[in-house]
Chain A
Amino acid sequence: MARGLELLLSAVLLAGLYAMMAYGLGLIYGVLRIVNLNHGGMIMVGAYLGWYLHERAGIDPYLSLPIAAVVGFATGVVIYGGLVRYLPRGPAGGVQSLLLLFGVWLVLRNVAYLQFTGNDQAIRTDYSTKAVVVLGSALSLNRLIVFALAALLLVALDLLLTRTYLGKAIRAVAQNADSCRVAGIDVERIYTFTFGFGTALATMAGLLLGTLFPFNPTFGAGELLKSFVIVVLGGLGSVLGTAVAALILAIVEVFAILLLPAYLTGAVGFVLLVLVLIFRPGGLFGQRVLG
């Protein structure tokens, strides 16, 4: 029983991070109908950014979050304005955008490789190995902080989307871009902003992930796939949906150890993805658009 509680707490902490990681992907798909295969690349960039700032400038990784946000946003805007904008929208553009963003990811991987070598890096701070005892089990301090930050960000996100004019515009464009154009909304600007925003989220998630796990230039692939699982499971757009889906994934992964040998628990996420895609591509909440 104590073990069950421990596993549950583990899962909850993990879920917070997963939710944040997935949201950026979901946002971009919801609004632009583009699957951002560079999501993994930006996660990797975020991790390296945090590491670099910590190594060279001694900045605590959690304090570098705003920097990651800015860098991510700028990168996203550049990628959109310079590349994605030229793709045809709609089903014809689907495949093209996949390949384009995948290409961008490959380039980023190579750049990271040349700059930092392929060796694993880790962000080690003084409190990296500290633990806090909650309800009888030792929880890593890092994971708690990450969870808190992720939760805060998601709440802020939800407020942005529901309470601000910008948020409304984004949701409107997601529902029907054409009528928005007619109504006078600068759809291109919304697209640019959304893409930048989604990329910023990925970068920040990457930084947080970097404080927990070691990483190298190939980092991000597994996280990308997990994000897909969550986006598909949770439907698109609602923060709540994403959070619940993230929790489900985290719980399945963590409790799988009771049934499967440790080695195979890594495959659980992928199998879940395929099953969900086959049986409920509309997600558990049946939503396909923001709203």
Chain B
Amino acid sequence: MMRGPKPSLCSEVTMQRRSGSFPLALAASLLAAAACKQSTPEKSSATAAASLPDKIVIGATLPLTGAEARIGGFYKEGYELAFEEAMKAGGILVGGKRIPVTLQLLDDTTTQATAVSLADRLINVDKVNFLLGTYSTALVQAQSSAAEQNRIPYVNGGGAATAIYQQGYKWIFGLLAPVELLADAIMRWLDIQQKSGKLPKPSIVAVVWENTSHGKDFRNGVSEFAKSHPGDYQVVLDEAFELNAKDFSALINAVKAAKADVLLVDAHLPDYITMQRQYVTEGMCNKVLSYGARGSEKQAADALGQKNVNYVLSAVWWNSQLGSKGLNKHFVDIFRAKYNRQPEWYQALGYETARSLFTAIEQADSVDREAVRAKLASMEIESILPGGKLRFPAEKGQQAHNPFVVQQNMPDGSAPIVYPPDVANAAGVAPRPDCKG
């Protein structure tokens, strides 16, 4: 399946002019370049299916420094765990042989331009076979164009915005369910509380979101749910804030004035900590409080004190409490054996992303990019993700839509799952009992 540049009049013209005089060359090449839609970039030829490589190299960048360094580091743990597991078995099974697989990981410093340059480098200089994704929507979005242009499978567990998957890309696969579903999961739990009379009807809702696509999607999820349940929820405050803002007092004051029953926030960890600290200091207490995907982090409990994170709801893509049997238990066990602590959703997604790519390669029984892509597109495997199955549905732009799990912080330090009912190990508490008046 070798491919070369398409022969055309254009390339002949431009080749001829190479030795000509400068101004003519200028005019001709500009014309040629402009008129010439045929000229194609040098295509890295897909490896012939016939011969097996002696190793498989998978490239990836992660934000190991920069704003997302903490989470980048977690994803790295997940990736490395998956690679280690594969290598324990000798490698990936292709064509009856175990081929060693290695990870070529670079630091994209949480910068879009760097992420794209490094992806370009991995593909065209290091000549990796496949790509695993980076973390954070903007970086994944930028890198996905590079992957799509170079026609190389790009499997990521770090980009949740639906916008990435609505561009008709064929080579991009996402494991992270959209953030709208995150908001939706929380709203559904609220709905259950409302139906059993624990929350007023209509419930006054204030939604505050970081000004990123993550935050926007969260807010859309909330407002969509409220719209489809008219009369049950009244959104009185809908405000955006800048990522990594220092001072939320203006915002907190607005929330206070709104006198909401439910406060829904979408924020990253540092903003969660800052905002919650100011929230508590102001003596605020809403019936239900959620910080979107944040809430149960140990770092937050340490920074704020357990008392100040009680009853906070959060919804995540995976939770170690799902790990009672099967694949999940296996993952939790090997993670704890290697890192000596409990995994969170970041490492789980990293691990599962790599594992799904390995599976696709084995299913395709080759390292041919198109073959692996096809297997990813039609994949349906057992997974550690909630719901138990992993697929990349074409109708959703090849973005997995596994459900979220909602958890709630309890005073004893635990954070049981409260939704969906089939995996819940507690009903959850609403309204929170520790508000004074």
Q: Do A and B bind each other?
A: yes
Which residues of A are in contact with B by a Cβ distance under 8 Å? 3, 6-7, 10, 14, 113, 117-120, 122, 124, 128-131, 138, 140, 142, 213-214, 222, 253-254, 256-257, 261-263, 265-266
Among B239, B241, B257, B282: residue with most chain A CB under 10 A: B282
Q: Check A257–B253 contact: CB distance below 8 A.
A: yes
Question: Would you give the shortest CB distance from B270 to chain A, in whole angstroms?
Answer: 4
User: What is the bound-complex CA distance between A213 and B281, given in angstroms?
Assistant: 13
Within 8 A of A (CB), among B257-308: 257, 269-270, 273-274, 277-278, 280-283, 302-305, 308
Contacts of A261 in B (CB 8 A): 239-240
In the assembled complex, the Cα of A222 lies from the Cα of B247 at a distance in Å of 12
Given the interface pairs A119-B69, A261-B239, the reply to whether A129 lies near B303 with Cβ below 8 Å is: no
A118–B107 Cα distance when bound, in Å, is 14
List, in ascending order, chain A residues with CB within 8 A of B69's CB: 117-119
A12 shortest CB reach to chain B, Å: 12
Which of the residues A117, A213, A254 comes within 8 Å of B246, measured between beta carbons? A213
Residue B33 is within 8 A (CB to CB) of chain A in the complex: no
By the criterion CB–CB under 8 Å, are B281 and A140 in contact? yes
Contact A138 B282, beta carbon cutoff 8 Å:
yes
Say whether B66 faces chain A, with CB atoms less than 8 Å apart: yes
Q: Which residues of A contact B250 (CB under 8 A)?
A: 253-254, 256-257, 262, 265
Q: Could you tell me if B282 and A131 are in contact, using CB atoms closer than 8 angstroms?
A: yes
Task: Name B residues whose Cβ lies closer than 8 Å to a Cβ of A.
Answer: 65-67, 69-70, 208, 211, 239-242, 244-247, 249-251, 253-254, 257, 269-270, 273-274, 277-278, 280-283, 302-305, 308
Q: B240 contacts A262, CB within 8 Å?
A: yes
Q: Which residues of B contact A131 (CB under 8 A)?
A: 281-283
B136 to chain A, nearest CB (A): 14
**How far apart are the CA atoms of A122 and B239 in the complex, in Å?**
25
> What is the CA–CA distance of A261 and B281 in the complex, to the nearest angstrom?
23
Q: How far is the CA of A254 from the CA of B250 in the complex (A)?
A: 6
CB distance from A209 to the nearest CB of B (A): 8
Across the interface, B239 reaches (CB within 8 A) one of A3, A120, A128, A263, namely: A263
CB pair B65 A117 closer than 8 Å: yes
**A213 to B208 CA separation, bound complex (whole angstroms):** 19
Closest to A253 in B: B250
Closest to A113 in B: B65
Is there contact, CB below 8 Å, between A118 and B65?
A: yes
- 24 inter-chain pairs at a CB distance below 8 angstroms, sorted by A residue, are A3-B253, A14-B247, A117-B69, A118-B65, A120-B269, A120-B273, A122-B273, A122-B274, A124-B303, A124-B304, A129-B280, A129-B304, A130-B281, A140-B278, A140-B281, A140-B282, A213-B246, A222-B246, A257-B253, A257-B254, A262-B240, A262-B254, A263-B240, A266-B245
Nearest CB of chain B from residue A96's CB, rounded to whole Å: 29
Task: Establish whether residues A263 and B241, one from each chain, have CB atoms under 8 Å apart when the complex forms.
Answer: yes
Q: Complex: how many Å from CA A31 to CA B231?
A: 65
Contact of A214 among B246, B280, B282, B283 (CB under 8 A): B246
**Bound Cα distance from A214 to B246, whole angstroms:** 7
CA separation between A128 and B302, bound complex, in Å?
A: 12
Q: How far is the CB of A210 from chain B (nearest CB, A)?
A: 11
Shortest Cβ gap from A86 to chain B (Å): 33
Residue from B244, B253, B303 in contact with A122 in the complex, judged by beta carbons closer than 8 Å: B303
20 new A-B contacts, CB < 8 A, other than A3-B257, A6-B253, are A10-B253, A113-B65, A120-B244, A120-B273, A122-B303, A124-B302, A131-B283, A138-B281, A138-B282, A140-B278, A140-B282, A142-B281, A213-B247, A257-B251, A261-B239, A261-B240, A262-B254, A263-B240, A263-B242, A265-B250
